[in-house]
Amino acid sequence: MKKFSTAALLLAVASASGAHAAEETTTSQRCAFLQNAPDQHTVVRGDTLWDISGKFLQHPWCWPQVWGMNRDQIRNPHWIYPGQIVYFDRASGKLRLGAPVGQGNAGGIPTVRLSPQLRTEGLGQDAVPAIPSSVIEPFLSQPLIVAEGELQDAPRIMATEEGRVILGKNDKAFVRGDLKSGTSFQVFRPGTPLKDPVSREVIGHEAVYLGTVKLERPAQAANEAHVFRVVTVKEEMGVGDRLLPVPPSPILNYVPHPPEKNVDARIVSVYGGVSQAGQNQIVTVNRGSKDGIDLGTVLELYRYGQVVTDRTEKGSFFSIGSWGKPKVKLPDNQYGSLFIFRIFDNISYGLVMQVTDTVQIGDVAKSPE
């Protein structure tokens, strides 16, 4: 049996304590409060946890670290409602939720209830969401990232009523294929391939979401078509388009957090086929679940600094113009943050949060420093 000296044990404990202290210091620096942060904020309808935290914190996505919640509460934050008050406890550097339960407390700081109240009726229906859920809701089930040929075996529209080229709401569509007992479907069309801005390899295909259809009459024989009725139309829908089952309704309240391991991603595309994005628009990045990204991951957006010639450097007596002058890279410019809300193996969708510049394809999205 190996023997360990007391000095070695103390050194190990000190190293662990030092690492923990360094981690806490880094978190504290990263999640610093604004110098002009208010003492309290009354929650109103339309607030989000991101908005509320932005009134107190330099980085709003840090709110889970400063609420003083346990891990279960953080993962299911359906507990802040309009009318409640968020207090800034300056002594502990935490945000507290509740209402005053006594008056005339020492120092004028109200005593607040630190544990969330349970609601047995309508739980979460009126709760404040983490981010603007109305913005991302349409993207939680569409668009869809598919492998090449993945839609090939999906049920397909093979004919339309009266030979119509384009289907509209309430029109009939005739479908062939195995429905696997499904009755409600989304309609997709294979889209353009998405290429990694760095490797230039195709990392997925974004299927174009066209709308929804509902089964009206299943086929009665193997050589007969199913009859569907068009429920909603987002884009032109017609013969050859493919059907996939409507996914279950997702949970909308995601908790922002930095990725567990270092992520260095690039913007692949801006949803809608444009080249630039602004606040509250949707973009894709070339990293996914295989790279440690999960729901609620927050990445910081950067634009690469240009490489310029240092014309101030003293060069050769015979040098002309910029010849012989050194090339210097300017610092990368951090201009916003990205909230990841939908993930595939190699690609993720993110909501652009506060930005001071436009998001462009090829920009960097990496772990917060």
Query: Do 149 and 188 lie in a common domain?
Result: yes
User: How do beta strands 202-217 and 193-195 pair?
Assistant: antiparallel
pLDDT value of position 83: 84
Q: What is the mean pLDDT of residues 174-202?
A: 91
Residue 77's pLDDT is 53
Beta bridge partners of 276: 360
Most confident of 71-80, 172-181, 242-251: 172-181
pLDDT at position 309 is 86
- pLDDT at residue 361, rounded to an integer: 92
Closest by CA to 340, choosing from 263, 276, 249, 274, is: 263
**Number of compact structural domains in the chain:** 3
Q: Are residues 234 and 274 in the same domain?
A: no
Boundary (domain end) residue, out of 75, 100, 125: 100
What dihedral do alpha carbons 281, 340, 232, 151 form, nearest 10°? 120
123 pLDDT higher than 60? no
- State residue 364's pLDDT score: 94
Dist. CA 299–CA 256, nearest whole Å: 10
Least confident piece of the model among 103-107, 314-318, 322-326: 103-107
Residue with the larger pLDDT of the pair 28 and 128: 128
* Better pLDDT: 173 or 206: 173
Model confidence band, residue 349 (pLDDT cutoffs 50, 70, 90): very high
Same domain, 209 and 286: no
Q: How confident is the model at residue 324 (pLDDT cuts 50, 70, 90)?
A: low
Q: What is the pTM of this model?
A: 0.68
Question: Is 124 part of a structural domain of the chain?
Answer: no
Condensed to tens digits (0 to 9), the pLDDT of residues 237-291 reads 999 999 999 877 665 556 788 888 899 999 999 987 778 888 888 999 999 999 9
Residue 323 belongs to a domain with what CATH number? 2.40.10.410
- Return the sign of the alpha-carbon dihedral for residues 274, 275, 278, 281: positive
Q: Is residue 106 part of a domain?
A: no
pLDDT at 106 over 90: no
Which residue, 29, 284, 258, is CA-closest to 143? 284
* More reliable by pLDDT, 316 or 197: 197
Looking at the fold, whether 280 and 226 belong to one and the same domain comes out as no
Which alpha helices (H) appear in 127-184, and where do they start and end?
133-136
The phi, psi pair for 213, rounded to 5°, reads: -135, 155
233 and 146 share a domain?
A: yes
What is the domain extent for residue 63? 26-100
Do 199 and 291 sit in the same domain of this protein? no
Which pLDDT score is estimated for 78?
Answer: 53
User: In the chain, what percentage of residues exceed pLDDT 70?
Assistant: 73
Does 282 share its domain with 200? no
Looking at residue 149, its pLDDT comes to 75
pLDDT of residue 230: 97
Peptide bond before 143: cis, by omega within 30 degrees of 0? Answer: yes
Assess contact for 206 and 188: CB atoms under 8 A: no
293 and 207 assigned to the same domain: no
